[in-house]
Structure 1
Amino acid sequence: MSVYLDYNASTPLDKRVLEVMIDVYQNKYGNADSRTHDYGEAARQIVETSRQNVADLLGVKKDEVFFTSGATESDNISILGLQNLAEKTGKKHIITTAIEHKAVLQPLNVLESKGYEVDYIKPDKSGRINADELLSNVREDTLLVSVMHANNETGIIQPVNVIGEELSKTDVLFHIDAAQSFGKLVSDLQSIKYNILSASAHKMYGPQGVGALVLRKKRYKLPPVTSIMFGGSQEHGIRPGTVPTALIAGFGKACEIALDEYASNISKYQKTRALILEMLSSSGLDFSINGDSVYGMPNTINVSFKGINSEAFMLATRQFCSVSNGSACNSHSYKPSHVLTAMGLDSERIESAVRISWGHDAILEDDLYKFFRAARSL
């Protein structure tokens, strides 16, 4: 079995999280919106405890947290759920970046087809956008700015703190896709000013299929985001449908663990990063790191191996290490990375790029040695 190095796609489930979920599945199977009996009340209490856990991790209020199926749904609600506000105010200009996840880019494509205007800010070769350039595009009719916290392919952290600080002085809404940083860059997220945030549980040792949409209050009012689905009043009408109590319980437990352990986990990420970079340097391979590591997440490296096609690379090394060449959501398309393309990298470098991402679990040097030895044979 190969060593898993694709944590940006999905992490393993923490055993402590699984234990909580099993207990809920077996013993607390009521519908959290069934208010007429104890089974429903027990499920509701689990959901509300988990909501508080998410709020505590982010340093927000409990009633600002809404459960969804994951960051993709949260991103869609964040963008498509503002159409009523846009129609009411006439503000139909949106600013984002060219390196966003498709969960942001594709809903924006939908709005463009309806007459909205979207500006896409490109990064430089560091993989990081210029905050001043983005802010200079803000206009009187700007409705929303949407910027990911950390890029899923390169791990490069974007200047959302600067952008959030400036936008807080305006009435422009600011959305952060925090899928990759949630549960990791905890102190950073607690200090950033934003109106809307998206997160997933399965990127931080929680279960797949659940996430959060965070709507921060301003002058005691939530951002005027409306549901994009219909069929119930769950989650205060933001997201209809029976809430998955066990998944939410697992999400809450993962948040509780992350709040307790994130500081020590960062040091583990950094230790593994140093090991991988050391082995890369001594591997004899001709490689280039994509993106400026000064701004990089401690658990992600995007690297191009000169003269080695990424698809061939992954096939040759899959028995030793599981890595990817981009977002899992695009893994069947085999199109050049839109992120690396936006950074201005040449086609050869893009086609030879792979993403290595890891967790706080220990990585065995022997597995990495076999991995790089296989790469040298190409």
Structure 2
Amino acid sequence: MRLTRSIRAAVAAALLLAATACGSSGGGGGSASTGLNPPDLKAPTKLGKPEGQVNLIAWAGYVEDGSNDPKVDWVSDFEKQTGCQVRSKVAASSDEMVKLMKTGEYDAVSASGDASLRLIASGDAAPVNTDLVPNYKDVFPDLKMQPWNSVKGTAYGIPHGRGANLLMYNTAKVKPAPTSWSAVFDGASAYKGHVTAYDSPIYIADAALYLKATKPELKIKDPYALDQKQFDAAVDLLKQQNKNVGEYWSDYLKEVSAFKSGDSVIGTTWQVIANLAASEGAKVKAFVPKEGSTGWSDTWMVSAKAKHPTCAYKWLDWIVSPKVNAQVAEYFGEAPANAKACEQTSDKSFCATYHAGDTAYWKRIAFWNTPIEQCLDGRTDVKCVPYAKWVQAWTEIKG
């Protein structure tokens, strides 16, 4: 069972480098253009001799060596096979990952989309030569060369796993069954004090996604590319929601407990939380509402200052190899990135439950990306609100 990715509203890391010519951040494969002009860094053309060590920054549950659970260990075999001793640091937030990568003490990081563009733009993450990662060929095509892991046709990492932010509700207390995010926004007063929401500045995108569908006059195309008017509308919606929120969650165990006790009856969740809550007796269902959902896709990125680049590449290939990727996905609670991992899961229905290869499902998910001034939706006549201001606004929203 996953430990958690506890996202806290810390002060945002350094602002992104200025960029020109915005490109589209829409889904689909091919060359992704984000409007960034990152430093001119080169990916290696070949690997050298393993350096004997690799220093990693990761979400809890991504680098398990048996110390948390003797049955959960995919690090020991990696060390035996490569000679690369793993030293890992668990990060509590994307902001912490960005800060740690700037020290130059780490070789690779499991970055989510709300950190990856910051790392690319600042020159802390280097381009990745996917030819040096043999298992990359089996990664689902719709995870490759996306706006959060590539810039202008250059890959900056290896996809690891993904998940959607779902709407969960108590089937006994929320009737009729909701179909829309309106249940936690415009209609939230019906459950005053029992609404729960994800505790992170990136949650502003959830409000923007809802407004994209319900307020077409705002002309929102990308929930991570908001001009000031669009951003203000999303913030206002969340301030209204705040009056009905009983708890903002970042620890999944607290959300499970709240739904079991009835303190929370509706709000945003992850599939793994819904599964656990149901297994412990909570009467809950979770789904993607009609407007779609936000979600995450994590990427292993290599530091531009990596002292152990060969061991870092060995790790990237190992973590997305079928057996290991299956182990991580089941332990963490997300869809694996490697299509062949689905043959290796202990629960043979796991990939179906997590929609691993369901392309139509993922087309409804707006994966986390890093908000920057150069609008990710392609607009050049306005500036969009950068992530640092999302962090400031989140503090205001919560009061």
TM over 0.5: no
Structure 1 length normalisation: TM-score?
0.30
Identify, as 1 or 2, the structure richer in helix: 1
Structure 2 length normalisation: TM-score?
0.29
Higher RCO structure, 1 or 2 (CA under 8 Å, sep 6+): 2
